[in-house]
Structure 1
């Protein structure tokens, strides 16, 4: 997705919990007409969790016929985007010529590297009837030695993503290794991304990581005596043996990985070097980025 303003950080309500919990972030939904987005990363209080530097929850939304996701071409540098849907589909095109339809359970990994432009729309057969959309889009900060690699795009169908059951909890390892499984999705640093679907009363012990967080996309959790409401993100400590309990049917995302160095963030540009962000802004204004193949008639201008 593209950010509509130059400032990326969202305003959230912040709380503190038990010793296992550093912060509880409660994002405020941004209404985009028939579509809402909740952004939990970055905030003023917390910029990253491991290599994860951006976390958006899209929907759940129902679009009437003739409407839907329509994100015009826009650029990225020095990061990788990760798109995962619970419901609906998104059509991805980019300046490499990639054309991919992401459907529930798939992983789209777009590595911006030294620079890429992409659009996110919907196929006519989807847009022309009432349809739903619900999912997550995250951005990964690339380690400094990989920031300027050649851009690339990878699509991983749902059937390639490993799944298992732990203490009755259904889960999928989307990226990294956890619960005895390793995802095929390419990583550039130690990365953790797990989706779990929990029934009321089920418990799950969380795998550890240098940094980690839980996001409640649906339902309600409890960690010891602290209740984690729907649409909240819990920034966890590195304490071992942390157990979450579902107090309603819940769908959660566990993210984490190794801590990254400081990043500068403006609009869709993220880099370890502030001058690189400024360079990218000038290049976009000058039209120096490559166009999206078969989608080059419009673009999102740099926010003022």
Structure 2
């Protein structure tokens, strides 16, 4: 009996002037633990006339996690934050009752050839924190726990698992782990994982129960305690998940909430421009009809 419940393929999606590969949500699996949304950005090669420009847009009821493999993004938000995110660092923005942010190519790179590659993730908030005050944290690459075990380099990007704890200030029981190897290696994590668990293959391949799985897909486990597989040489995979919430989460545009009325209010507030403004930004993404 296979431990794989669902295989989710990466699907093209447009986020304005930039194409991404959408992984979550999926029609038959809307969330994995508290993870509600995952976009794979790139790898994109842009010339001196091409830039990432996502104007100010709102969020409620979630935390965003931005993690880059290559390139750079300038993050600005309605809290007054203005910070450049580079590969290996983590931007963790908790929207709570409402925040607005923009994501753009930094000024010093705009007229150059550049690359961009990374993951953008939404983690839903527990019901009692959906209306919390927004906050922002930037965690440098050097502060992310990283170690080598049986020839595999492991990073705990967020959460608490494998006897380690990431400094990213998460709001529920979850984990987001990076595994990299150079030679074929068996991975057994079942005794350490909990809740729901998904595995995303960035590069290389994974062997499981006689099957081979290649990049641009997520495998969702039936039982995280049975998480065992082999990584092909020179592979990079991400394991993510955690305890699911007892209530359903509704997702509409950039809003996540346990109540549909909360989402409707956010739609009305954005349409009327009642959300806080992002300093130094004048345009915004209109509410999709």
| Alignment TM class, shorter chain as reference | over 0.9
Please report how far the alpha carbon of residue 138 of structure 1 lies from its aligned counterpart in structure 2 after TM superposition.
0.5
Please report how far the alpha carbon of residue 238 of structure 1 lies from its aligned counterpart in structure 2 after TM superposition.
1.9
Q: Does 1:153 align with 2:139?
A: no
Q: Map Cα deviations across residues 80-109 of structure 1 (whole Å, 9 max, x no partner).
A: 100000111110000010011110110100
CA-atom RMSD in angstroms: 1.5
- The corresponding residue for 1:118 is 101
Given that residues 79 and 270 in structure 1 are in contact (C-alpha distance below 8 angstroms), is that contact kept between their aligned partners in structure 2? yes
Residue 248 of structure 2: which of 256, 262, 281 is its match?
Answer: 262
Q: Map Cα deviations across residues 242-289 of structure 1 (whole Å, 9 max, x no partner).
A: 322122421111100111120111111110010000000000011101
Which stretch has the larger CA shift, 19-28 or 103-112?
19-28
Residue 277 of structure 1: which of 240, 257, 263 is its match?
Answer: 263
Given that residues 111 and 153 in structure 1 are in contact (C-alpha distance below 8 angstroms), is that contact kept between their aligned partners in structure 2? yes
Residue 114 of structure 2: which of 131, 134, 153 is its match?
Answer: 131
Given that residues 34 and 61 in structure 1 are in contact (C-alpha distance below 8 angstroms), is that contact kept between their aligned partners in structure 2? no
Distance 1:86 1:22 in 2: 28
| TM-score, length-scaled by structure 2 | 0.95
- The corresponding residue for 1:303 is 288
Q: Does 1:217 align with 2:202?
A: yes
Please report how far the alpha carbon of residue 66 of structure 1 lies from its aligned counterpart in structure 2 after TM superposition.
2.5
Given that residues 57 and 285 in structure 2 are in contact (C-alpha distance below 8 angstroms), is that contact kept between their aligned partners in structure 1? yes
Q: 1:303 to 1:33 in 2, by over 3 A?
A: closer
Given that residues 176 and 183 in structure 1 are in contact (C-alpha distance below 8 angstroms), is that contact kept between their aligned partners in structure 2? yes
- Number of residue equivalences: 286
- The corresponding residue for 2:185 is 202
Matches within 5 A, 1:166-177: 166-177=149-160
Structure 1: gaps (5+ residues): 1-17
Residue 142 of structure 1: which of 112, 115, 125 is its match?
Answer: 125
Please report how far the alpha carbon of residue 40 of structure 1 lies from its aligned counterpart in structure 2 after TM superposition.
1.2
Distance 1:158 1:229 in 2: 27
Distance 1:252 1:49 in 2: 16
Residue 106 of structure 1: which of 66, 82, 89 is its match?
Answer: 89
Given that residues 34 and 62 in structure 1 are in contact (C-alpha distance below 8 angstroms), is that contact kept between their aligned partners in structure 2? no
- The corresponding residue for 1:164 is 147
Structure 2: gaps (5+ residues): none
Distance 1:31 1:228 in 2: 26
- The corresponding residue for 1:77 is 60
- The corresponding residue for 2:45 is 62
Q: Map Cα deviations across residues 223-247 of structure 1 (whole Å, 9 max, x no partner).
A: 1212111111000122535322122
Given that residues 213 and 255 in structure 1 are in contact (C-alpha distance below 8 angstroms), is that contact kept between their aligned partners in structure 2? yes
- The corresponding residue for 2:277 is 291
| TM-score, length-scaled by structure 1 | 0.90
Distance 1:25 1:67 in 2: 30
Distance 1:63 1:208 in 2: 38
